Amino acid sequence: MAATARSCGREEKEAGEPQVANGEGGSGPGPTIWPIGFAVGIVCILAGLIVSPVAVAAGVIIAAIFGFLWAREATREYRGTTDHAAPEPEAAAGPADAPGRGPVPEPSMIPPRALEEDEDDRYPRSVFLEGSTLGLAALIGGLVTLPVLGFVVLPSFQDQEYPDVNLGPLDNFPESKWIITTFFRDPTAGEVDHRVAYIRNNGNLSFTIISNRCAHLGCPVQPNGLVAENQRKTIRVIQNQKRSAVTLTPAAPSGFGCPCHGGQYDLEGNRTAGPPVRALDRYEYSIVSRNLVLNKPYSVAHVYGTGADAKIKAYPLTGPGQHVDGAESWLYPIQPPGR
């Protein structure tokens, strides 16, 4: 088969014949665009698994269409020879139109084996068996791999929302004083879920609640200034029907600084020096039966004004080191879902 095609191709070139009708070269499949579309479909499916089921459906359709077209393209040679209704690419360019069997190149140009070839041999049973064995193996491999891959990847992107955290009675936060507050996001998870927020009561039920996660690479920022360790108190709270502990330590910071790479922030969390790319993250809060409750954290580019008068544009919570505004934020268009 291949020998025939190749020898025809060579003959074409030597004879200087014009290119064949459908623009195909002599032998082998030409370059096609279908695999790219197929890959786009697969990417769409994978992204859709995380983002939305609609994208999965779109990806399946895209992949199916392009996969079908790709397979058609790739098997054109096989089908072209078995299907006599469609003339072979070489047919149009064949120099001699032999009657009956279609155009045949000059016998001297092709090996004798190709002339004797029968239609029966052109799609032999062995090729079918090879293809079906490989296809079956790919199917089994896919059936095994896909669920495992989903198990590895998907749990990281599901149910990541931040639970509300009860920080205890409002009386523990005296007006215009900073309180270093440590708490557990999930009381049952243990020390690994320990978190810290810097809280200032601005009066009139307004609070400034700053996360201690540095906006550079996520180290814990420290208060620059006195920390009244001797006035630390631990209070017991009930959080999501579970017992939890919150520690409250008064402090008199003049700003916040990160021990890892030296990022510095002022009391509103705005960057004043060092490598951080934005201001410190903040927490939404609510007041439930005279208890201060932390809600979701959010990211901040810059805080204008101070205390209760601060003007803040809240961005969805973004990883450290990522810009939330300006041209650099185009590098981080999508944040992972589930939080």
Q: Applying CB under 8 A, which residues contact another protein?
A: 50, 153, 155-157, 160, 162, 185, 189-193, 217-220, 260, 317-322, 331-336, 338-339
- The least CB distance from residue 221 to another protein, in Å, is 12
- The least CB distance from residue 55 to another protein, in Å, is 15
- The least CB distance from residue 156 to another protein, in Å, is 5
Closer residue to another protein, CB minimum distance, 34 or 157: 157
Q: Are 217 and 263 in contact (CB under 8 A)?
A: no
Closer residue to another protein, CB minimum distance, 85 or 327: 327
Closer residue to another protein, CB minimum distance, 295 or 322: 322
What long-range pairs does 174-177 form, CB within 8 A, spacing at least 24? 174/201, 175/201, 175/202, 175/203, 176/200, 176/201, 176/202, 176/203, 176/307, 177/201, 177/250
- The least CB distance from residue 111 to another protein, in Å, is 32
Instruction: Name the β-bridge partners of 194.
Output: 184
Strands (E), the chain: 165-169, 178-184, 194-203, 206-211, 222-227, 233-239, 242-257, 264-265, 271-273, 282-288, 291-304, 311-315
Closer residue to another protein, CB minimum distance, 70 or 283: 283
Closer residue to another protein, CB minimum distance, 32 or 295: 295
- The least CB distance from residue 219 to another protein, in Å, is 6
Amino acid at the residue 162 = Y
- The least CB distance from residue 288 to another protein, in Å, is 24
d(CA 257, CA 318): 20
d(CA 138, CA 159): 33
Q: How many CB atoms lie within 10 A of CB 335?
A: 15
327 SS3 class = helix
d(CA 43, CA 56): 9
**If residue 92 lies in a helix (H) or strand (E), which one and from where to where?**
helix 89-93
- The least CB distance from residue 229 to another protein, in Å, is 18
Residue 82's nearest CA partner among 53, 123, 115, 114 is 123
Q: Are 35 and 70 in contact (CB under 8 A)?
A: yes
Closer residue to another protein, CB minimum distance, 109 or 317: 317
Closer residue to another protein, CB minimum distance, 97 or 161: 161
Closer residue to another protein, CB minimum distance, 160 or 254: 160
- The least CB distance from residue 312 to another protein, in Å, is 22
Closer residue to another protein, CB minimum distance, 305 or 336: 336
- The least CB distance from residue 148 to another protein, in Å, is 12
Spell out the alpha helix ranges (H) of 16-52: 34-50
Angle, CA 332 vertex, CA 327 and CA 336 arms, to 5°? 155
